[in-house]
């Protein structure tokens, strides 16, 4: 799947299997929210981001309308991925919205701003994925690109 962010004129690629994996993680925690770290790599010209996997947090708090993930232990895993022959990077975050839309909240925007401005984050445009689920199925999902305090939605070409 390839989607486009028209604000930045960049694209995002991912396999349907990755969405199935995320869906399954989200269902496991339904009716509470759940989420984690998005992993991927950039094309040499930095025009395309390819999502390859997700990492789940070691520690988290999960509620119906709130998800808090810790960064405990994630450094080691990310450095391991960075040291692979085919380097993989932390590229953003995902979380579920049970029985709610895939629109981001102010809390989500603030979290992404804090992430992008952190000294240990070396990318300027982290990605946010929100998956909307109910007790039966994944209803919808939306990818956002963070740029300068704003989240911009990806869309089909």
Provide the binding-site residues for another protein, judged by CB under 8 A.
8-10, 33, 35, 37, 41-42, 45-47, 49, 65-71, 74-75, 78-79, 82, 87, 89-91, 93, 95, 105-108, 110-111, 113-115, 117-126, 147-150
Buried b (16+ CB within 10 A) or exposed e, 32-42: bbbbbbbbbbe
Strand order in the sheet with 2-5: 2-5, 10-13, 48-55, 35-42, 89-98, 127-133, 138-147, 150-153
To another protein, the closest distance from the beta carbon of 43 in angstroms equals 9
Q: 19 or 115, CB closer to another protein?
A: 115
**Contact (Cβ atoms closer than 8 angstroms) between residue 70 and residue 59:** yes
Q: Which is nearer to another protein, 17 or 52 (CB)?
A: 52
Comparing CB distances to another protein, the nearer of 17 and 33 is 33
Q: Which is nearer to another protein, 17 or 81 (CB)?
A: 81
Torsion angle of the four alpha carbons 47, 78, 39, 135, in this order, in degrees rounded to the nearest 10: -160
Q: Please, what is the minimum distance in Å from the beta carbon of residue 156 to another protein?
A: 19
d(CA 26, CA 138): 9
Query: Closest approach of Cβ 96 to another protein, in Å?
Result: 9
């Amino acid at each position: 799947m390839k989607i486009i962010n028209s604000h930045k004129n960049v694209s995002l690629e991912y396999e349907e299997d990755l969405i199935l994996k995320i869906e399954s993680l989200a269902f496991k925690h339904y009716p509470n929210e759940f989420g984690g770290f998005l992993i991927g790599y950039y094309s040499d010209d930095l025009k395309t981001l390819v999502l390859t996997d997700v990492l789940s947090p070691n520690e988290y708090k999960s509620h119906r309308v709130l998800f808090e993930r810790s960064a405990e232990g994630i450094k080691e895993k990310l450095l391991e991925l960075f040291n692979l022959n085919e380097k993989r990077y932390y590229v953003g975050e995902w979380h579920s919205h049970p029985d709610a839309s895939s629109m981001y909240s102010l809390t989500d925007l603030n979290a992404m701003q804090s992430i992008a401005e952190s000294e240990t984050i070396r990318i300027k445009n982290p990605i946010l994925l929100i998956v909307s689920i109910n007790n039966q199925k994944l209803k919808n999902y939306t990818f956002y690109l963070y740029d300068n305090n704003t989240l911009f939605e990806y869309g089909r070409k």
